[in-house]
Amino acid sequence: MRYKSTRGGVSGLSFEEAVMMGLASDGGLLIPEKIPLLNEKDLKHLFELPYTKLAYEIINRYQDGIPSNDLMAIIQKSYAKYDTVNMIPVRKAAGMRIAELYHGPTYSFKDVALQFLGNLFEYILTKKGQKLNILGATSGDTGSAAIYGVKGRKNINVFMLYPANRVSHVQEMQMTTTESPNVFCLEIGGNFDNCQDLVKSTFNDLEFKEELNLGAVNSINWARILAQTVYYFWIYFKTVHRVGDEINIIVPTGNFGNVFAGYLARKMGLPIAKLMIATNRNNILTRTVKFGDYSIERVHPTISPAMDIQIASNFERYLYYLYGGDCEKVTDAMELLRVEKEIDIRGHLLGQLQRDFIAGEASDDDMKDTIRKVFAQSDYMIDPHTACGVYVANQMDIVADNTVCLSTAHPAKFPDVIHEVLGAWPEIPDGLRDLEERQKVSYKIMPELQDLKSFISQHAK
């Protein structure tokens, strides 16, 4: 399998090269040259496989450079911290099904992809005798999942910037208590935008970037999409009576990464009837699906902060398919977005978009009401992101036994909202319980590019 850029400036990459490149060097996103198709017989063969074997079968169709045994070992190592037989439980609640994707080490669905990416990086770097310094900025979930993906891995360091006093206490403790010598949490005296600007400026210094082999782990990495595609198959097999039956899936969405993985699963032949996007007040994707209006507004803070996003980076991958694989059209659209802050999708393309997805949005009050109702109805706690999905499913009237809402975070990650709504605290899982007793290690630096660069140079080994 070879990979190319949505903008046409890069092609012929191997899977491993695509993973290491992350963002394509022409500014586009990397995609496979073709999408492997599975027929009913293939699906039947996958039906009862344990999670790791299923992951191998899906991922291996997208690569040919990593020997079978090695790939299987990478996958097994990635999911060893999960209960593999039931790594992602699919429960009946709220009149439909809820897929609990959050049983990884940091209790959000991001672990599924980042555990795999961390091990994959380590494997590729060791083979090539290279070192990688990962640099990122976080306002919460991504930081801890990325850190847990690479902590203790050989040949990788991670430098994670976060705004001092502006991430939740749980999130800060998760990031700063790993005691791993390859993890550097940088507490920045500023806000999240300052952190992001620092990261961008550092990447823009190409000489520095090259010298230190700086890389990113954001959701545009192809390996993350692929690892997420696996669980759409898993969920399908846990839901249907027989192969060929259809299911509907609702995805609480921010960057379009998770929902793109579902789109890919469907393109591979998985019978997903309705693929539904649930957004909070940051509704760029809902506006796009309803009216073809992909225009960037300012970010509104909500109680589902991991979805407080205005630019859905992975949407570019979908645009490539919507434009029939025309890289020039993708390039023009992305240039328009940069300059005019909007893309207008009209006519038959809007029709196609509306056949591919349906979308709806939830306010903070809608999410709170939903947490309350689901608890009353099913004695089951959901976090605000999941509540966004459940609300939109009800609004669109597709609540049914073959409808699955993806649950992206453990309710214990948002104890204050749960307590406000239900008057009770969520049960704290083991991995979050002992955080307070652990030793916090972080480095305070001012938002100055030079300070950041010298810190990285000193600590990158």
Q: In the complex, what is the shortest distance from the CB of residue 45 to ligand PLP, in angstroms, rounded to a whole number?
A: 29
- Known catalytic residue at 290: no
In this complex, which beta carbon is closest to ligand PLP, that of residue 38 or of residue 371?
371
Q: Which of 34, 41, 53, 110 is catalytic?
A: 110
CB 333 within 8 A of CB 8: no
- Distance between CA atoms of 175 and 141, rounded to whole angstroms? 9
CB 201 within 8 A of CB 296: no
- Distance between CA atoms of 19 and 23, rounded to whole angstroms? 9
In 3-state terms, what secondary structure has residue 375?
helix
CB 157 within 8 A of CB 459: yes
- Distance between CA atoms of 192 and 136, rounded to whole angstroms? 11
Q: In the complex, what is the shortest distance from the CB of residue 227 to ligand PLP, in angstroms, rounded to a whole number?
A: 12
Main-chain dihedrals φ then ψ at residue 336, nearest 5 degrees: -60, -40
In this complex, which beta carbon is closest to ligand PLP, that of residue 91 or of residue 329?
91
Among residues 174, 194, 244, the alpha carbon closest in space to that of 440 is found at 174
Residues in touch with ligand PLP (CB under 6 A): 108, 110, 141, 219, 252-258, 306-307, 385, 408-409
In this complex, which beta carbon is closest to ligand PLP, that of residue 337 or of residue 367?
367
In this complex, which beta carbon is closest to ligand PLP, that of residue 157 or of residue 255?
255
- Distance between CA atoms of 248 and 258, rounded to whole angstroms? 15
Q: In the complex, what is the shortest distance from the CB of residue 245 to ligand PLP, in angstroms, rounded to a whole number?
A: 26
Q: In the complex, what is the shortest distance from the CB of residue 115 to ligand PLP, in angstroms, rounded to a whole number?
A: 14
Pairing of strands 90-93, 96-100: antiparallel
Q: In the complex, what is the shortest distance from the CB of residue 396 to ligand PLP, in angstroms, rounded to a whole number?
A: 18
| Contacting residues for 277 by C-beta, under 8 A, at least 6 apart | 251, 253, 259, 285, 286, 289, 357, 358, 359, 360
In this complex, which beta carbon is closest to ligand PLP, that of residue 106 or of residue 403?
106
In 3-state terms, what secondary structure has residue 461?
coil
What positions carry a catalytic annotation? Answer: 110
